[in-house]
Amino acid sequence: MADNRQMENREHNENRKKTGNGASERGFGHDRKSGNGPAHRASAGGFAKKRNTTGRPFAEGSREGTPASKREHAPSSGRSEGFRGRSESDRAPQKAPGREIRRFGDRKPGSGEREGYRAFEHRPRAPRAVEGLASRRSALKVLRAVTEDGAWASTALDKELQSAGLNPKDRRLAARLAYDTLDRLYYLDALLDQVMAKPDTDIKLRNVLRLGACQLLLEDHIPDNAATDTSVELCREIGLDGLAGVCNGILRNLIRRREELRIEEEDPVKRISIECSAPEFLVRRLAEDYGMDGAEQILRVSGRDSKLTIRPNLMRLNAAQFEALLGKKVWEWEKGELRDSWYVQGAANIAQDTDFLSGNFSIQSEQSQMACLAAAPKRGNLVLDACAAPGGKSCYMAELMDGTGRVQAWEIREHRTKLIEAQVKRLGLDNVRPMTRDAAALREDLIRSMDVVLLDAPCTGTGEMHDKPDSKYRMKEENCEELIALQKTMLDTVCEYVREGGTFVYSTCSVLKDENERQIESFLERHGEFEIAELPDTIPERIRAAYKTGVQLLPGVNASGGFYICRMRRKRL
pTM of the model: 0.76
Q: Which pLDDT score, from 0 to 100, does residue 25 have?
A: 33
Q: Which of 160-169, 285-294, 322-331 has the lowest mean pLDDT?
A: 160-169
Which of 17-21, 170-174, 262-266, 556-560 shows the lowest mean pLDDT across its residues? 17-21
- Which range among 192-201, 425-434, 469-478 has the greatest average pLDDT? 425-434
Indicate whether 460 pLDDT > 90.
Answer: yes
Distance from C-alpha of 75 to C-alpha of 55, rounded to nearest angstrom? 25
Count CB neighbours of 345 within 10 A.
Answer: 10
Q: How far apart are the first and last CA of the chain?
A: 113
pLDDT digits (tens, 9 = 90+) for 378-406: 999 999 999 999 999 999 999 999 999 99
Report angle CA 18, 23, 28 to the nearest 5 degrees: 90
Q: How many CB atoms lie within 10 A of CB 14?
A: 11
Give the pLDDT of residue 558.
67
pLDDT of residue 39: 33
Residues contacting residue 390 through CB under 8 Å, at least 6 positions apart: 416, 419, 420, 423
Helices 477-494 and 517-526 pack at an angle, to 10 degrees, of: 40
Domains of the chain: 1-64 (no CATH), 133-257 (1.10.940.10), 268-300 (no CATH), 367-570 (3.40.50.150)
Q: How would residue 314 be classed by pLDDT, with cut points 50, 70 and 90? A: very high
Instruction: Give me the pLDDT at residue 2, please.
Output: 44
Residue 408 half-sphere exposure toward CB, CA atoms < 13 A: 20
- State which amino acid sits at residue 1: M
Q: For 107-164, write each residue's pLDDT tens digit.
A: 444 444 444 444 444 455 555 556 789 999 999 999 999 999 999 999 999 999 989 9
pLDDT averaged over the chain?
Answer: 82
User: Which candidate in 372, 387, 480, 509 is catalytic?
Assistant: 509
Of 254, 252, 256, 234, nearest in space to 243 by CA: 234
Q: Is the pLDDT of residue 323 over 90?
A: yes
506 DSSP assignment: E
Q: Which helix (H) or strand (E) holds 333?
A: strand 332-335
Residue 380, phi then psi, degrees to nearest 5: 80, 0
| CA–CA gap between residue 530 and residue 298 (Å, rounded) | 32
Residues 531, 571 contacting (CB under 8 angstroms): yes
**C-alpha triplet 251, 145, 391: angle, nearest 5°:** 130
DSSP secondary structure code for residue 424 in this structure: H
Predicted confidence band of residue 305 (pLDDT cuts 50, 70, 90): low
Residue 509 annotated as catalytic: yes
Task: Assess whether pLDDT exceeds 90 at residue 78.
Answer: no
> Which is more confident, 559 or 188?
188
